[in-house]
């Protein structure tokens, strides 16, 4: 009989594609856990079959009640409970945050078994800067809320990482292009599987490519950080003001040009007065 695990919670990363990506450490923990908290028992059953293991599975997902969570934590005082999601590292846009938080508050021993994570894998495939990055997860589904969320991210000087589904990909890329401008980006899907694919280009190019295409599989979108904005040349301000003042008063022309070029309104108004 293999040695039993110490009671507690074991957060186990599972493959995001190829089942052989499961680490020996993860396989060992899953084989010795008293029970496994799973997002979908059908998915985890395939993984356990791959490593020749049969263990009790307990459903645990985003809709699990506080009572289910409390029951799991009570068992952790005397049993080793492993937590897995359908793919990748639990808690990363997957269930588990509340369970880990409450288990820690209850004094449960918590262990992590590191392994695959789609966000990090896609970042390494993207060719975009990796020194600073922000994992965003899924953007809101509604157009207005999505635009607001993107606007909040626009000034962040880091590579942005999003998860997305095939049916929503085209609309999300179009919204990112509208909200973030001409940035380098990549779309990765089927990571570590036979048909792994990463497509790169600007956000606008990718939005056009996927406008009428619904790719299969789980998708990660990465977007490069904003470039250094060059200050508009004085001649550009003057030209814009000259054109605007053919239609508007100096004050309103200054307001229009300041908004268009991202300049202080007072400075532009002073320049408008000088040109007048």
pTM: 0.77
Which contacts qualify for 28-32: CB closer than 8 Å, 24 or more apart? 29/5, 29/80, 29/82, 29/113, 30/55, 30/82, 30/84, 31/2, 31/55, 32/2, 32/3, 32/4, 32/5, 32/80
Write out the DSSP string of 211-261: TT----S-EEEEEPPPPPPPPPPHHHHHHHHHHHTTTS-HHHHHHHHHHHH
Q: Are 120 and 192 in contact (CB under 8 A)?
A: no
**Gap between the Cα atoms of 38 and 30, Å rounded:** 11
Sign of the four-CA dihedral 24, 25, 31, 32: positive
Q: Give pLDDT, residue 2.
A: 61
Write out the DSSP string of 127-139: -S--SSEEEEEPP
Q: Give pLDDT, residue 229.
A: 43
Q: Give pLDDT, residue 230.
A: 42
Q: Are 174 and 220 in contact (CB under 8 A)?
A: no
Q: What parts of the chain have a pLDDT lower than 70?
A: 1-2, 228-235, 261-262
**Gap between the Cα atoms of 134 and 156, Å rounded:** 9
Q: Are 180 and 203 in contact (CB under 8 A)?
A: yes
CA-nearest of 191, 195, 189 to 16 is: 191
Q: Give pLDDT, residue 203.
A: 95
């Amino acid at each position: 009989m293999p040695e039993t695990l110490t009671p507690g919670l074991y957060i186990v990363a599972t493959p995001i594609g190829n089942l052989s990506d499961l680490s020996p450490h993860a396989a060992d923990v899953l084989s010795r856990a008293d029970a496994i908290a799973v997002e979908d028992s059908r998915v985890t059953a395939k993984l356990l079959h791959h490593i020749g293991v049969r263990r009790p599975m307990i459903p645990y997902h985003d809709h699990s009640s506080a009572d289910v969570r409390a029951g799991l934590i009570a068992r952790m005082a005397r049993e080793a409970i492993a937590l897995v999601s359908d793919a990748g590292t639990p808690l990363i846009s997957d269930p588990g945050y509340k369970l880990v938080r409450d288990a820690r508050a209850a004094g449960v021993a918590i262990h992590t078994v590191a392994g695959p994570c789609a966000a990090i894998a896609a970042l390494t495939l993207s060719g975009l800067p990796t020194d600073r990055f922000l994992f965003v997860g899924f953007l809101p589904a509604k157009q207005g809320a999505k635009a607001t969320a993107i606007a909040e991210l626009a000034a962040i000087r880091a590579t942005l990482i999003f998860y997305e589904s095939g049916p929503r990909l085209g609309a999300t890329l179009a919204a990112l292009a509208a909200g973030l401008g001409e940035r380098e980006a990549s779309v990765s899907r089927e990571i570590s599987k036979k048909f792994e694919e990463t497509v790169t280009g600007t956000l606008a190019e990718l939005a056009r490519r996927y406008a009428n295409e619904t790719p299969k599989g789980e998708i990660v979108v990465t977007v490069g950080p904003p470039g250094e904005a060059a200050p508009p040349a004085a001649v550009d301000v003057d030209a814009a003001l000259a054109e605007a003042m053919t239609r508007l008063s100096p004050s309103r022309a200054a307001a229009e040009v300041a908004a268009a070029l991202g300049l202080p309104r007072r400075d532009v108004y002073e320049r408008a007065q000088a040109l007048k």
